[in-house]
């Protein structure tokens, strides 16, 4: 089975995760896919193939040299985003893309256009895999899984490439932020690993946001509006006051690069009670802590104005910037950087404006930067992946395995 055939098979599985179920994996389709992958890995002759009750799949490609070498892992997630259906994915290969509009669904006039998605023009002349305009594609992260498995097969077929023990890990529920929660780092048993979950060719990421969630509950006092003077407290207006006191330009739509933000994600209310949801993001840990302090200071301020208990703030840290865990072991970045060069890929080291399983795994003791998988426009009907990008990602995995052996 070729890399492309493998990918097209994988996207036929409906593995959309869900924040509603409260179980792991969050949907049954992920376990169905995990069982398929387990059988595939076993049929390829991998060792120590295990699938636990939570849908975490691990396997080993044994070393083919007696030279003592570190154990390196490659990780990808099996779920697709809840943002759009991943059921009955119907991919199509656009051969030698000509730089023009791609009609995904003629009857609904759904068009993948370089005018709207200029990144398409970086792939003129390449074969692209696109959707039919009705579902997402699933390159996030089934491209990563296909690349890892195909790289393992390549190494098996080329024993002249010496490598140490390689561990493979496929996990559920990354898209709902739970991919690393039940990942057994000790069982995985690696010195370090790489998630194959980035986008454009050359991406190499070891910085991500520090992240927290904030839930605010605003308590009001409802009185007949005809007799409400000096009595009514409208919780929706108190919530609006809180929102207006945060910096207006520090929101996702006004920030880029290393700029952090407050992101209002939920608002629901009546006079008596309003609830507001935020996520807080910043690459810099000090500024991250300051953002949380700002939320608390505004809470205190409004409680002084409207009465204690009017505003209740619940803050929860979600994950941290993995950079602080990667910097002491920067050789894992150097190896990936050189492996890309070996594979003819120009590395682009960049900070993730988001999170990754690798961040949480790094804080669990497994340094785990992120490498490109090649897909673009994730989480929607306009998702696509250039076939050469997947091939380059696969080659980078092979070159990393080789580079680890060469440098020891």
User: Residue 159: enclosing H or E segment and its boundaries?
Assistant: none
Q: Is the CB of residue 113 less than 8 Å from the CB of residue 133?
A: no
Largest CA distance in the chain: 86
SS3 211: strand
- Whether 147 sits among the annotated catalytic residues: the reply is no
14, 79, 140, 357: the active-site residue: 79
Q: What is the rounded CA–CA span in Å between residue 94 and residue 116?
A: 18
Separation between Cα atoms, residue 275 and residue 259, nearest integer Å: 26
Reduce the DSSP state of residue 391 to 3 states and report it: helix
Q: Out of 174, 197, 203, 383, which one is annotated catalytic?
A: 174
- Report which of 107, 140, 203 is spatially closest to residue 382, judged by C-alpha positions: 140
Alpha-carbon distance of 268 to 284, in angstroms, equals: 31
What is the spatial distance between Cα 194 and Cα 383, in angstroms, rounded to a whole number?
23
| Residue 5 appears among annotated catalytic residues | no
Q: What is the DSSP string of 292-344?
A: HHHHHHHHHHHHHHH-TTSEEEEEEEEE--THHHHGGGTHHHHHHHHHHHHTT
Contacts of 84 (CB under 8 A, 6+ apart): 135, 136, 379, 380, 381
State how far the Cα of 364 lies from the Cα of 52, in Å rounded to an integer. Answer: 19
- The answer to whether 401 and 161 have CB atoms below 8 angstroms apart is yes
Rounded to whole angstroms, what are the CA distances from 264 to 47, 209, 243, 246, 253? 47, 17, 8, 11, 11
- H/E segment holding residue 37: helix 28-43
Task: Output the DSSP codes for 99-139.
Answer: SS-EEEETTTTEEE-TTT-GGGGGGTTS-EEE--SSS---H
Q: Which residues contact 55 (CB under 8 A, 6 or more apart)?
A: 24, 25, 30, 31, 34, 78, 171, 172, 173
Other beta carbons within 10 Å of 196: 26
Q: Please tell me what DSSP assigns to residue 263.
A: E
Positions marked active-site: 79, 174
């Amino acid at each position: 089975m070729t890399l492309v055939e493998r990918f097209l098979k994988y996207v036929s599985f409906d593995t959309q995760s869900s924040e509603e179920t409260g179980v792991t994996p969050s949907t049954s389709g992920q376990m169905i896919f995990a069982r398929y992958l387990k059988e595939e890995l076993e049929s390829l002759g991998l060792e120590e193939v295990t699938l636990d009750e939570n849908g975490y799949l691990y396997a080993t490609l044994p070393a083919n040299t007696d030279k003592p070498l570190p154990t390196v892992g490659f990780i990808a997630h099996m779920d697709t985003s809840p943002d759009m259906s991943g059921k009955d994915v119907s991919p199509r290969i656009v051969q030698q893309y000509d730089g023009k509009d791609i009609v995904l669904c003629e009857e609904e006039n759904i068009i993948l256009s370089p005018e709207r998605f200029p990144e398409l023009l970086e792939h003129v002349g390449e074969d692209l895999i696109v959707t039919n305009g009705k579902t997402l594609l699933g390159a996030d992260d089934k491209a990563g899984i296909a690349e890892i498995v195909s790289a393992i097969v390549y190494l098996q077929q080329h024993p002249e490439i010496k490598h140490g023990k390689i561990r493979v890990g496929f996990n559920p529920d990354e898209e709902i932020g739970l991919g690393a929660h039940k990942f057994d780092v000790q069982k995985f048993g690696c010195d370090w690993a790489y998630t194959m979950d980035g986008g454009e060719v050359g991406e190499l990421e070891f910085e991500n946001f520090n992240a927290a969630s904030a839930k605010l509950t605003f308590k009001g006092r409802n009185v007949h509006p005809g007799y409400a003077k000096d009595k009514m407290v409208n919780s929706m207006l108190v919530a609006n006051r809180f929102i207006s006191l945060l910096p207006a330009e520090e929101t996702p739509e006004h920030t880029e690069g290393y700029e952090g933000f407050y992101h209002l994600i939920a608002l629901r209310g009546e006079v008596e009670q309003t609830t507001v949801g935020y996520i807080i993001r910043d690459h810099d840990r000090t500024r991250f802590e300051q953002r949380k302090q700002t939320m608390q200071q505004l809470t205190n301020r409004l409680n002084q104005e409207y009465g204690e208990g009017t505003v209740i703030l619940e803050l929860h840290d979600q994950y941290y910037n993995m950079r602080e865990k990667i910097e002491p072991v920067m050789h894992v970045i150097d190896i990936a950087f050189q492996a890309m060069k070996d594979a003819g890929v120009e590395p682009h080291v960049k900070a993730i404006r988001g999170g990754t399983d690798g961040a949480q795994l790094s804080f669990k003791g497994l340094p785990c930067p992120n490498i490109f998988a090649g897909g673009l426009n994730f989480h929607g009907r306009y998702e696509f992946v250039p076939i050469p990008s997947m091939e380059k990602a696969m080659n980078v995995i092979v070159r990393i395995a080789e580079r680890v052996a060469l440098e020891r």
